[in-house]
Amino acid sequence: MIRYAVRRLLEAVPILIGIVTFIFLLLHLAPGDPATAYFNPNVSPEIIDRMRENLGLDRPLHEQYLRWLRSFFTGDFGYSFSQHRPVADVIRDALPNTLLLSAVSLVLIFLVGCAVGAVQAVRQYSALDNVTTFVSLFVYSMPGFWLGLMLILAFSSPAMPEFLRLPISGVTSIDYEFMGPIERIVDRLRHLVLPSFALGIASAAGVARYMRGSLLEVISQDYIRTARAKGLSERRVILKHALRNALIPIVSLLGLYLPLLFGGSVVIEVVFSWPGMGRALYNAILARDYPVVMAASFLFGVLVLGANLLADLLYAVIDPRIRTD
Amino acid sequence: MTSPLLQVRDLRTYFATDRGEARAVDGISFEVLEGETVALVGESGCGKSVTALSILRLLPEPPGRLLAGSSVQLRGEELTSAAESRLREVRGGEISMIFQEPMTSLNPVFTIGQQVSEAIREHEAMSTGPGERGPAAAKRVAIEWLDRVGIPDPEHRYGYYPHQLSGGMRQRVMIAMALSTRPSLLIADEPTTALDVTVQSQILELLASLQTELGTAVLLITHDLGVVAQVADRVLVMYAGQIVEEASVEALFRAPEHPYTEGLLQAVPDLEERRERLAEIPGNVPRATAWPTGCRFKPRCPYAWSRCRDVPDLLRSGRAEQSAARCWLVDEPERRRSGSGFGPGSPDGRREEVGES
């Protein structure tokens, strides 16, 4: 198991180098360079040339690449043009917010998805199954940004009773500094509700569909009949013998849905003014702030890679047939 | 006479299908006495497995349903109307079951030891010794049973997953799981069909020796007459959802009463007698949604005559004790000699349809 994990980690290294190289080349293929981006047109060409020299842009490409690679892997992502502070600082502020939002959405996706799918499978063709199937298909086909906007309209509307109104932007309220510790947690959670819902609910609906199919297939297996023939209660048959087998294909969905989640966070963070990586990337692209774009793309790459690794490890934990080889 | 361990009376299990109602098991009655081995024999689709699953109420309902009037009694206790909680005590406790496919009958994500001890813990009172409770006792008993069914190095194998064992070993695990609760009846649904021949006889010998040791009665479901001859005391032959013949194993092999049984026996290869083609029963088993009227074997029977429009109940024959067949030939044995009997199959595998409908 540990050997498997180490092997998978080592396999991730060349992929990471590939991602970094790709980002580097993409940037050099784009017209212009950081020096032209820095200065306005009436600066004389001699000064720009000297700036190039200072920045090392006159060196051969492979040399630039190696220097850049070294700094990148030591966590020096350069300097943000638009925010006038190191990219590392920008990331330090934004990354925790994105991780929090993604983690909450992920829990929502898999808890709600699996629970709904399992109930649908156990009560196949019942009214409950039909209604939840309809609702999940409806939710699944809704674009996240539109759902986000509708949620904002609904939950900030004066027509909504006071106790149901939820914050629609930011991570904390303005008076966060003056709150007690419990109030702070509640405040943060309240701010998480709408964005994580908008970000995760479509995927949750997808997971529910997969879970329903997976559990239905497992329930018809011979070993479920064996479990019943042993005299186990129906509850134990489903929760112990069927569920774990049904979860095996669902775990591999984790690797598929996480990239979707990070991609979706770009849109959802903008809609809900959530100060995370997605919004930082969006603003950096608009401002042509290349160092931030590069660092953010790289980090998203790392997150996706990490998610896939996690999915594969979970796969081995849950399915003993993977572990032995 | 002692009262039977299991008494099945007029059991009818029907299924709702797209083609109408399938009468998979259509009014069968039999009994199993304490400690004896009864074989239930028939072709695929004749209702053998449905019978077994109906006894323990393990069929999905719907689409299946047990018809009113069906009765399954365990030592006089009615199971068809028993509460789910009581059925759970019976399942795996008083009546255990093993299945045809050892490859898929064990849960792939739990170790074989966990699966055996789970059965033991579920029926703790009957499987472990007095005063012994809890997971440690269950594990000890499970290891004991893995040893008894001939799994080498049971302490170590306890932590194996099913995919690490061969088919024969898995079937041994199934047997350990089924017998560890010391049931009075074991229903074995084609326990050796999926195994190769050498493993088959090992498993049958294991079952037979454990049965003698524990005094368990066995209801053995099979289509393999070789298996029947090896282990059974009594045989029930099933055709098209009904029992067509009941006899002791000696009587059945010596003098089958029902033409279907006769056909089955002639279709078994004989090492002494070299034949180009084995005798075969023409045609196929009819569909359960449309059984023939009258005798259900009539369209395939070489002896069929006008009387077969009606069908008798099991007729006792004078030839052997406890023998009975659902056939008029018991009444009119002289017709058997004049009939053509089963010949070798023609190359296209068909012969002229006999009788109407």
What pLDDT score does A319 carry?
84
Position with higher pLDDT, A80 vs A271: A271
pLDDT band at A113 (very low <50, low <70, confident <90, very high): very high
User: Which letter does DSSP use for residue A240 in this model?
Assistant: I
Position with higher pLDDT, B140 vs B344: B140
User: Which letter does DSSP use for residue B293 in this model?
Assistant: S
Chain B interface test: which of A125, A230, A243 (most B C-beta within 10 Å): A230
Asked whether residue A288 is assigned to any structural domain, the reply reads yes
Asked whether residue A121 is assigned to any structural domain, the reply reads yes
| Closest Cα in chain A, distance from residue B188 (Å) | 12
Mean pLDDT estimate for chain B:
82
Position with higher pLDDT, A122 vs A56: A122
| Per-residue model confidence as pLDDT tens digits over A1-22 | 778 788 888 888 898 888 888 8
Whole-angstrom distance, CA of residue A318 vs CA of residue A251: 9
Domains, chain B, ordered by start: 6-232 (3.40.50.300), 256-271+278-338 (no CATH)
pLDDT of residue B349 exceeding 60, the answer is no
Average pLDDT value for residue range B23-31 = 86
What pLDDT score does B124 carry?
75
What pLDDT score does B131 carry?
63
Collect all residues from B whose CB is shorter than 8 A from any CB in A: 56, 58, 88-93, 96-97, 99, 101, 104-111, 118-119, 122-123, 161, 163-164, 174, 177
pLDDT of residue B156 exceeding 80, the answer is yes
- A226–B164: do the CB atoms touch at under 8 Å? no
Residues 299-318 of A with CB under 8 A from B: 318
Residue B63, preceding bond cis, omega within 30 degrees?
yes
Asked whether residue A279 is assigned to any structural domain, the reply reads yes
What pLDDT score does A116 carry?
93
pLDDT of residue B353 exceeding 80, the answer is no
In B, which residues are within 8 Å of A227 by CB distance? Answer: 107
Please provide the DSSP assignment of B18-75 as one string.
TTEEEEEEEEEEEEE-TT-EEEEE--TTSSHHHHHHHHTT-S-TTTEEEPTT-EEEET
Asked which of B48-57, B65-74, B308-317 is least confident by mean pLDDT, the reply is B308-317
First to last CA, chain A: 10
Asked whether residue A179 is assigned to any structural domain, the reply reads yes
Hunting for tokens 């294991």 — which residue is that? B206
pLDDT band at B221 (very low <50, low <70, confident <90, very high): very high
Whether residue A52 lies within 8 A of chain B, CB to CB, comes out as: no
| Closest Cα in chain A, distance from residue B340 (Å) | 44
A32-40: Cβ within 8 A, 24+ apart: A33/A57, A34/A290, A37/A81, A37/A288, A37/A290, A38/A81
Asked whether residue A50 is assigned to any structural domain, the reply reads no
What pLDDT score does A37 carry?
61
| Per-residue model confidence as pLDDT tens digits over B282-297 | 777 777 787 878 788 8
Average pLDDT value for residue range B134-140 = 85
Searching chain A, which residue's CA lies closest to the CA of residue B55?
A229
| Closest Cα in chain A, distance from residue B109 (Å) | 6
Which of A231, A245, A319 is nearest residue B89 as measured by Cβ atoms? A231
Average pLDDT value for residue range B344-348 = 51
Whole-angstrom distance, CA of residue B302 vs CA of residue B48: 24
| Closest Cα in chain A, distance from residue B80 (Å) | 16
Whole-angstrom distance, CA of residue A40 vs CA of residue A42: 6
Asked which of A26-30, A170-174, A301-305 is least confident by mean pLDDT, the reply is A26-30
Asked which of A55-69, A94-108, A143-157, A220-234 is least confident by mean pLDDT, the reply is A55-69
User: What is the ipTM for the molecules in this complex?
Assistant: 0.83
What pLDDT score does B2 carry?
61
> What's at A59, amino acid-wise?
R
Count of domains forming chain A? 1
- A226–B107: do the CB atoms touch at under 8 Å? yes
Average pLDDT value for residue range B26-44 = 88
Calculated CA dihedral for residues A82, A84, A87, A90, nearest 10 degrees: -80
Bridge partners of B7, per DSSP, are: B31, B73
Q: Domain of A189: which CATH number?
A: 1.10.3720.10
> What's at A112, amino acid-wise?
V
Query: What's the pTM?
Result: 0.80
First to last CA, chain B: 44
What pLDDT score does A299 carry?
87
Domain range for residue A227? 2-30+75-323
The share of chain B scoring above pLDDT 70, in percent, equals 87
- A231–B161: do the CB atoms touch at under 8 Å? no
In A, which residues are within 8 Å of B104 by CB distance? Answer: 221-223
- B106–A226: do the CB atoms touch at under 8 Å? yes
- B107–A319: do the CB atoms touch at under 8 Å? no
